[in-house]
Structure formats: C-alpha cells, structure tokens
C-alpha cells in the first residue's frame, strides 16, 4: 500500500520483519526475565504457562533474539559508524530534548543518539548472550564462580537493556511520523528533511 508515491522508503520488508522478530523476542524475554529478576514481577510467569515453563522457554527465546539481533546488527552496522558530526549532535542533544531542534547539526540516516543506542544495545546483547549461556543450567555446566559472574552480568545487562529499549520506544513515540517506518517502511519527505537532512539529500538529490 502506497500512501503517497513521493514518500521515502526507509526500511524494506525484510528489515522490518527482522526488527519485529527481535522486538517480539525482546518483549517475551523482558517479561519472563523480570519475573526472575524481582519477586514483585514473578506473576508475569503466568503469561508463559507458569513459572516452570517461563524458566524452560526463556533461554530458547534468548537464542532466537541473539540470532535475529546478529542479523539486524550486520545489516545496519555500517550505517552506525560514529562521525564527528554525531559527536556534535550529541553535545547539542539536550536542546532537542528540551523541545528545540532548530540548531541540530545535519544528520545522515541515523543521528548520534540512534548510533549510541545501536552500540549500547549491541554491547548488552553480547553480554546477555554470553552470560546467558553461563547460567543455562539445563545444558551447560560451568565452574560456579563463572556461573555467579554470569548471573550478575545477565541481571545487570538485562536491566540496562530494558532501560535502553524504553528510551528507544519513547523516542519513536515522541518523534511523530517515526513508527510508520517500522510498520510499513516509509516516511514522509518532510520528516526526512527535518530529522535526517543528510540522508534526505542523499535520497532525493536535493
């Protein structure tokens, strides 16, 4: 479905599908993970058919997320190399959060904040995967000190990752016209010109 033929394609179908596999597995992992993280969230295990099922399923969904995240990482890593313009953008990010984005430096497909988010999530994902294997007792048997370290890293990286994703989701809600890029792949030209002018020029040649 094309709303306006002049809309700009931001994500193709395969990229979107990949993103939502990561997104759905993240939601399942966050809900079950929080249940093990703190007793206040333990009732969330009911979404998974009870606490034992939550314990059994969590690591398998983790494998799915690790693989699908790796795929999305490889697709987008070259677009997320941090440049001096990004550093400049990050220095001025406070103004933007305050509601004034007029003086922000021109950004390519991703701005400095998005790039920092990309690398922070990649770091968390790596830590989650490795520490997750250390504490997956059904299949792996590591030395207890390693398992203890794994438990600490898994809890810390998990909490950090949930925090980063909350910021990621809020940013998408806050910046109007953004979410459609991940639903059906396009953004308006005005959106691209305002938020990612460098990318807008590159696509439109203007």
Active site residues: 168
Residue 103: how many CA atoms within 13 Å on its side-chain side?
11
**Token pair recorded at residue 15:** 């990229």
63 scored as a contact of another protein (CB under 8 A): no
Residues in the chain, total: 206
Closest-CA residue to 106 (of 14, 18, 195, 167)? 195
Residue 15 CB, shortest distance to another protein, in Å, is 23
**Footprint on residues 90-149 left by another protein (CB under 8 A):** 96-99, 101, 135, 137-138, 144-145, 147-149
Query: How far apart are the C-alpha atoms of 21 and 26, rounded to whole Å?
Result: 8
Please report the DSSP string for 90-134 in residue order.
Answer: HHHHHHHHTT--TTPPP--SS-HHHHHHHHHHHHHHHHHHHHHHH
Residue 194 CB, shortest distance to another protein, in Å, is 5
175 scored as a contact of another protein (CB under 8 A): yes
What x/- string results for residues 3 through 42 when contact with another protein is judged by CB under 8 A? ---x----------------------------xxxxxx-x
Site of interaction with another protein (CB under 8 A): 6, 35-40, 42, 45, 51-52, 54-56, 96-99, 101, 135, 137-138, 144-145, 147-149, 151-152, 155-156, 159, 162-163, 166-167, 170, 173-177, 188-191, 193-194, 206
């Amino acid at each position: 479905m094309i709303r306006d033929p002049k809309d700009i394609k931001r994500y193709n179908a395969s990229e979107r599908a990949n993103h939502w596999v990561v997104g759905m597995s993240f939601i399942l992992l966050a809900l079950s993970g929080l249940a093990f993280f703190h007793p206040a969230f333990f009732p969330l295990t009911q979404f998974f058919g009870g606490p034992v099922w939550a314990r059994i399923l969590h690591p398998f969904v983790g494998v799915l997320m690790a693989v699908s995240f790796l795929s999305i990482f490889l697709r987008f890593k070259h677009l997320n190399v941090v440049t001096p313009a990004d550093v400049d953008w990050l220095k001025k990010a406070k103004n933007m959060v305050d509601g004034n984005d007029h003086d922000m430096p021109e950004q390519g497909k991703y701005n400095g904040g998005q790039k920092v988010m990309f690398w922070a999530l990649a770091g968390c994902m790596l830590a989650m995967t490795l520490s997750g294997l250390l504490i997956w007792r059904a299949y792996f048997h590591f030395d207890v000190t390693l398992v203890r370290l794994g438990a600490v890293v898994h809890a810390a990286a998990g909490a950090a990752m949930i925090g980063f994703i909350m910021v990621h989701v809020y940013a998408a809600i806050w910046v109007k016209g953004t979410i459609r890029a991940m639903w059906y792949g396009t953004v308006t030209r005005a959106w691209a010109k305002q938020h990612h002018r460098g990318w807008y020029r590159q696509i439109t040649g203007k």
